[in-house]
Amino acid sequence: MRSFAYFFSQGTFWDVMGDFYQKAVFIYGTSLLMAYGLLAIMSLVAIRRYIKKNTIVDINIIVESPLAPGISVIAPAFNESVTIVQNVRSLLTFNYPKFEVIIVNDGSTDDTLDKLIDEFELVQVDYAFREKLNCEPIKRVFKSLNSAYTKLIVIDKVNGKSKADASNAGINLSSYDYFLCTDVDCILEKNTLIKLIKPFMDEETTKIKEVGEPCMECGFQHIKEDYRKVIAVGATLRMVNSCEVDEGLITRVKPPQKLLPRFQEMEYIRAFVLGKMGWDFINAVPNVSGGLGMFDKDVAIKAGGYDSKSFGEDMDLITRMGSYMRVHDRKYAVRYVPETLCWTEGPTTLKVFGRQRSRWSRGLAQIMSIHRRILFNPRFGRLGLIVFPYNFFFELLAPLIEFFGILYYIYLIYTHQINWPYAIILIIFVYTYSVMITTLALLWDQITFKYYKKWSEVIGLCFMAFLEPFVYHPLILFFALKGYFNFITGRKHVWGNMQRQGFGNQPKKDTEMKAA
């Protein structure tokens, strides 16, 4: 007993724990940096493959084909009066032969519905549908008297307090086999439907050949043929803040002028161009953004649709769709398109931004908790052995490890135990590595797709990578920890409002809107 107390009193225990912690963090950090580097390499290969494959494709073949799959475009709306008319007009201009646009007015308390009725000459109609997914009651369904808006359907329903509930209502009324879910404050590129439906059409016609077990009768191994079904497709999102917009169409892409959306622009490009495309290379895409995602409706319904109680409904849906496919022993894929097809208005105030990011981190913790049986479970294939382990170690735990690492560094400095030459070299290496990864994503995006007219705009975005560790990343860390705290304590989430400025060069009078 004395030796045990002596072990603690002399600091031996803390020395051992400190040494273990340093080694563990070193291994963790090295693994994370290697993962980022590997994702960057796989992303570059995947994008080159995408470009090579699509340069010889004539999209007019799909546009002119009577056999093109039908697509239902679903856009929930809550108090979107400022931008609703422009955005609906934008959604109706898709270059695609067979689609419908379903706007779900989720109990708006402003004049969102009134503006839609007046602008598009809407009248209430009887509309038969089968409720396959749970949602709050639908009060009315509207169609237009104007033949120019025959593709438009407007649903007026009781507020479900979440985008997920409104999306389920739209799915219930949808007519086609595929649905695209987006936010009504987003602006989509006119060829979005063509570029998102193409992976569904390409991969479902590709047979996968595998060598089976030796036959009991002849002893030979036979070739098994099967189809891999694409269940979802996403694409790159970018900030619409400061872009020039005319009648719901982007006429000039510009980086955001305000600091916070500018950081988000940089983050989005890095996450989509390097992150998602890297995962696409090995068919391990973790989620499809709620701002723009196309789904196989049959699989989505069988998986239960969106969970209205989830704080990360987009990742939750992909997880349950993937689980459904694996449980039923069916091969599947989630694909990503590296082109920017969606422009969304990013939060411009710290209050709204923090509410959004806390919700995202809380949603991740919730998903990892609810679907914990998937983690390291070989039954779920890549989902259980790659996607969930990565999300658990490098997404969920990263803020916690970083936070305790900062506290440990402060302790070492206070007790004069820090090796300053080693610490400075390590900090400089991590800093330059993060700047390199971000700069690579921005430059590769510009060289490949040339969204910005001026290289000075790209260089300006690259400069944000140098500021990110000191300005933007601490905010991300703080709001992530806040989201975890809210999840653990079960604190009620306040959805709050987001101030929309509308689109165009001159911002209109701010109006409070529901946060995305």
Instruction: Give the dihedral sign, CA 331/320/514/169.
Output: positive
Each residue's pLDDT tens digit, 492-506: 765 555 555 555 544
Is the pLDDT reported for residue 509 higher than 50? no
Is the pLDDT reported for residue 66 higher than 90? no
Distances (CA, A) of 330 to 179, 229, 234, 267, 295: 21, 8, 21, 34, 16
Nearest to 475 by CA among 366, 287, 345, 347: 347
Tell me what the mean pLDDT of segment 352-376 comes to: 95
Q: Are 306 and 106 in contact (CB under 8 A)?
A: no
How many angstroms separate the CA atoms of 117 and 143, rounded? 9
Query: Mean pLDDT over all residues of the chain?
Result: 87
124 DSSP β-pair partners: 142
Lowest mean pLDDT among 78-87, 104-113, 157-166, 459-468: 78-87
Q: Are 461 and 343 in contact (CB under 8 A)?
A: no
Output the pLDDT for position 507.
40
Nearest to 44 by CA among 447, 456, 391: 447
- Give the dihedral of Cα atoms 271, 272, 273, 279; nearest 10 deg: 90
Q: Are 186 and 84 in contact (CB under 8 A)?
A: no
Helix axes 12-54, 420-449, angle to 10 degrees: 10
End-to-end, the C-alpha distance of the chain in Å comes to 58
Output the pLDDT for position 209.
52
Distances (CA, A) of 417 to 10, 13, 29, 414: 16, 16, 21, 8
Q: Are 161 and 78 in contact (CB under 8 A)?
A: no
Read off the amino acid at residue 360. Answer: W
Indicate whether 165 belongs to any domain: yes
Each residue's pLDDT tens digit, 407-416: 888 888 888 8
Output the pLDDT for position 506.
41
Residues 6+ apart with CB under 8 A from 57: 198
Output the pLDDT for position 215.
57
Other Cβ atoms closer than 10 A to 179: 24
Is the pLDDT reported for residue 125 higher than 90? yes
- In 358-368, which positions are buried (b, 16+ CB within 10 angstroms) versus exposed (e)? bbbbbbbbbbb
Tell me what the mean pLDDT of segment 118-145 comes to: 92
Domain extent at residue 110: 11-212+222-516
The stretches of 55-131 forming alpha helices (DSSP H) are: 60-64, 84-91, 112-120
**pLDDT band at residue 17, thresholds of 50, 70 and 90?**
low
3-state secondary structure of 293: strand
Each residue's pLDDT tens digit, 258-300: 999 999 999 999 999 989 999 999 999 999 998 899 999 999 9
H or E element in which residue 436 lies: helix 420-449
How many angstroms separate the CA atoms of 516 and 513, rounded? 9
Output the pLDDT for position 14.
59
Instruction: Give the dihedral sign, CA 156/160/162/164.
Output: negative
Indicate whether 368 belongs to any domain: yes
Output the pLDDT for position 516.
40
**pLDDT band at residue 210, thresholds of 50, 70 and 90?**
low
Output the pLDDT for position 503.
55
Other Cβ atoms closer than 10 A to 376: 12
How many angstroms separate the CA atoms of 233 and 230, rounded? 8
Provide the number of structural domains found in the chain.
1
Indicate whether 217 belongs to any domain: no
Is the pLDDT reported for residue 147 higher than 70? yes
Indicate whether 3 belongs to any domain: no
How many angstroms separate the CA atoms of 259 and 265, rounded? 10
The CATH number linked to 51 is 3.90.550.10
Output the pLDDT for position 72.
97
Q: What is the CA radius of gyration of the chain?
A: 25
Structure tokens at 48: 């080159």
Indicate whether 350 belongs to any domain: yes
How many angstroms separate the CA atoms of 180 and 172, rounded? 13
Output the pLDDT for position 83.
81
Indicate whether 74 belongs to any domain: yes
Is the pLDDT reported for residue 237 higher than 90? yes
Q: Are 120 and 70 in contact (CB under 8 A)?
A: no
- Rounded (5°) CA angle 305-306-311: 160
Indicate whether 5 belongs to any domain: no
Residues 6+ apart with CB under 8 A from 177: 69, 70, 296, 297, 298
Is the pLDDT reported for residue 321 higher than 60? yes
Indicate whether 424 belongs to any domain: yes
How many angstroms separate the CA atoms of 81 and 77, rounded? 9
Q: What is the DSSP string of 325-370?
A: HHHTT--EEEEEEEEEEEEE----SHHHHHHHHHHHHHHHHHHHHH
Output the pLDDT for position 490.
86
Other Cβ atoms closer than 10 A to 122: 23
Structure tokens at 504: 């165009």
3-state secondary structure of 81: coil
How many angstroms separate the CA atoms of 259 and 346, rounded? 11
